[in-house]
Structure 1
Amino acid sequence: MTDALIQTFRRQGRACQNLGSPFHAALLALAADDLEGGWDGAGLFAPWAEADAMAMFADAVPLRFLGGLHDMVLEGADAELAAAYPAPGRAADPARAWAAARAAVAARTERLAAFMAHEPQTNEVRRSVCLIGGFLEVARASGLPLQVFEIGSSAGLNLSFDRYRYDLGGACVGPADAPVRLDTDWSGPAAPVDAPLQVAARAACDRRPGDLTDPAQRRRLLAYIWPDQFERLGRIRAAIDLALELGVKVDAADAVAWTRERVAPRAGRATVLFHSVFWQYMPAESQAALAAAIADVGARAGAEAPFAWLRMEPAPPSMAAMEVRLTLWPAGEDRVLAEVHPHGAWVKWAG
């Protein structure tokens, strides 16, 4: 297990560096060094004892670990650890933070193990800036109000996408007074911002939805935002406040069963099923079942009741790039709309 864990930590560290978190990159490098030196992680990684490096990376083991540490910082449960973490106006100290993290692992093993037992549930609000072009495209093509269904919704922050204000390379869309404002480095053709975007109904599900009224669950969402990315933290806090104000609800349900039960074309509306960075966490058999359920909905679509499948997911087969893809029935046309940054920092729009 140790060799695979070291490989996984180093790979995730490179990813963190490339995605703008030098603090997490440094922390994972120090952890990998100590693993090579014989540190065993106090049994935190025992659930993955039989996993290879690829399986550990797919199961987001390093991100679970980093999230557990950040959760303690956000709660104020470890003053020494918190003092070494980055904060506005204060540089991070990775070496000090790792020393404190090792001590925290030894002292709070059960707490960290409990946090790591569930897969990450990120709610990166800026992914809405990647998806908004797809919603606009459906609105443009159909000319109808949308009824939207999100699967793998976590706490449902992206379900309020139409309440956000977007700057898509100078082309703006969304309420001018929106408390959540999202921009991106947009390239390619302009998005169809003049499309009649109206959301008539919305619903969402997650196997384990985040309850935003629970401080611990709100903190869990924040814990998966990298601590040296202050703008991301600010955005998600604003989105949480708005979701609480709007009373956003997410059903606790399996995505396959929920799609079969809830999602259906409706005359006079364009039905949209959407998800972001969700598919890769599903077992292969669940992916196949969900794809079949979506195809069944598509088969029931018509000119007056179109159905769209909009998703932001890693592009197969390499999974190295992130793309936004749209399938629109009744024709069933499938196309890649954009290549995007995992956290929405840039969008290369094809349209």
Structure 2
Amino acid sequence: MDEPEIPAVAKALSLQAGICRNMGSPLNGELLDRAAADWLAGGPVKALMAPWADSNLRTQFDAAAPLRLIGSWRELALSGDDPAVSVAYDALDAAAIWAAVRVAMVEHRQRLARFMAHEPQTNEVRRSIALLGGFLEIAKATGLPLRCFEIAASAGLNLSWDRYRYRMGDVTWGDPAAAVRIDTAWEGGSPPVEARVSVIERAACDRRPIDLHDPDERRRLVSYIWADQTERLVRINAAIDVALANKVHVERADAIDWVRAKVAPKPGTASVLYHSVFWQYMPAESREALAALIAEIGAQATPDAPVAWLRMEPRGAAPLMDVTLTLWPGGEDRLLANAGAHAAEVRWFGANHS
């Protein structure tokens, strides 16, 4: 007799548990396994995951529903509003955390549900190392100063990509004294670190930008950094300090409207539109409209006023990301690299890869 099909919500929680383990978070792996079992048993997880009850597996992952759940617990822990949850998270004790959050999911259900109603805004700083190669390729190909426009920028931490220090295999790039230092498991050749980079303009937008001056919003941002990955926590806090020191500002705007108003070729500069782990959260019609708009802007490019579209986005439902560059005039897509979702590993192909 065939066993019954596991519902998509429980399957998504279990699959995300495996992904977390593979990405170096055994803590979240165990918590999500417990959450999957709780959902199947009709526990408090089921009520919080109700918005995705009828969604298929792909939709679960496109919405990052399992990550919203564990993010809501972590935000509660960081707030101090539930001492039992906070103490358990401080100890990184999965059994204690589960016991505490299982109670909290009942007592703080509305608060957790409000948190989960908005898509994750991780603003993973390490993704800048995957994007860096694209910026270097643009600088090398054009020889022009860069105007950088980031959409879905969250708190704008990756808007400061040129203020960080990087190690990519045997090569380095950036200010040796930079407070934010980023490395990764790098495979393949090296991007053109010899290219001269000058960022003369930078701007960003997000539908719901995070105000780093607001402690509640800052806590929401940090809550999506997995609690047992202390290196990431150190890095994001350093990047927040850099953003505040440089008065980084993210405008509240719809991506399509903002791109239409802000991004256009400018003689003597290379205009770069970029984003990371954003595309999946847009409705299909919005993706099509934005892609058409970017192509329209690219068609206006000239050799003296090139336009680039740089992005790091998922390949299907897998956690593998493609780093892709389109440069106009020309408009040919180039797969520069593959990267993990947090860019803990990057496989570099370079601009000549097709």
User: For the superposition of Structure 1 and Structure 2, which TM-score range results when normalised by the shorter chain?
Assistant: over 0.9
CA distance in 2, matches of 1:264, 1:123: 25
Q: Which amino acid is the alignment partner of residue 267 of structure 1?
A: P
Q: Give the aligned partner of residue 161 of structure 2.
A: 161
- Residues 194-233 of structure 1 aligned to structure 2 (within 5 Å): 194-233=194-233
- Is 2:65 the partner of 1:66? no
Deviation at 1:345, TM superposition (A): 1.2
- Range with greater deviation from structure 2 (203-212 or 72-81): 72-81
Q: Classify 1:190/1:4 alpha carbon distance in 2 versus 1 (closer, same or farther; 3 Å).
A: closer
Deviation at 1:52, TM superposition (A): 2.7
- Is 2:265 the partner of 1:261? no
Q: Classify 1:8/1:298 alpha carbon distance in 2 versus 1 (closer, same or farther; 3 Å).
A: same
Contact 1:42 1:109 (8 Å CA) reproduced: no
Contact 1:311 1:326 (8 Å CA) reproduced: yes
Q: Give the aligned partner of residue 52 of structure 1.
A: 56
Q: Which amino acid is the alignment partner of residue 305 of structure 1?
A: A
Deviation at 1:319, TM superposition (A): 4.4
Q: Give the aligned partner of residue 130 of structure 1.
A: 130
- Is 2:335 the partner of 1:346? no
Moved over 4 A (4+): none
Contact 2:148 2:199 (8 Å CA) reproduced: yes
- Residues 89-238 of structure 1 aligned to structure 2 (within 5 Å): 90=91, 92-238=92-238
CA distance in 2, matches of 1:194, 1:78: 51
Task: Give 5+ residue unaligned stretches, structure 2.
Answer: 1-5
Contact 1:187 1:348 (8 Å CA) reproduced: yes
Q: Percentage identity across aligned positions?
A: 54
Contact 1:42 1:106 (8 Å CA) reproduced: no
The number of residue pairs the alignment matches comes to 346
Deviation at 1:321, TM superposition (A): 2.3
CA distance in 1, matches of 2:327, 2:213: 36
Q: Give the aligned partner of residue 333 of structure 1.
A: 332
Superposed CA deviations along residues 209-241 of structure 1, whole A, max 9, x for unmatched, are 000110011101100010000000000000001
Deviation at 1:40, TM superposition (A): 4.1
Q: Which amino acid is the alignment partner of residue 294 of structure 1?
A: I
CA distance in 1, matches of 2:135, 2:142: 11
Contact 2:125 2:158 (8 Å CA) reproduced: yes
Superposed CA deviations along residues 89-120 of structure 1, whole A, max 9, x for unmatched, are x5x32122111111011111111111111110
- Range with greater deviation from structure 2 (338-347 or 272-281): 338-347
Contact 2:38 2:46 (8 Å CA) reproduced: no
CA distance in 2, matches of 1:277, 1:258: 18
Q: Which amino acid is the alignment partner of residue 328 of structure 1?
A: L
CA distance in 2, matches of 1:136, 1:42: 46
Contact 1:272 1:307 (8 Å CA) reproduced: yes
> 1:334 aligns to what SS in structure 2?
strand
Deviation at 1:35, TM superposition (A): 2.0
Contact 2:339 2:345 (8 Å CA) reproduced: yes
CA distance in 2, matches of 1:152, 1:320: 19
Task: Give 5+ residue unaligned stretches, structure 1.
Answer: none
- Is 2:281 the partner of 1:277? no
CA distance in 2, matches of 1:22, 1:30: 12
> 1:211 aligns to what SS in structure 2?
coil
CA distance in 2, matches of 1:182, 1:233: 13
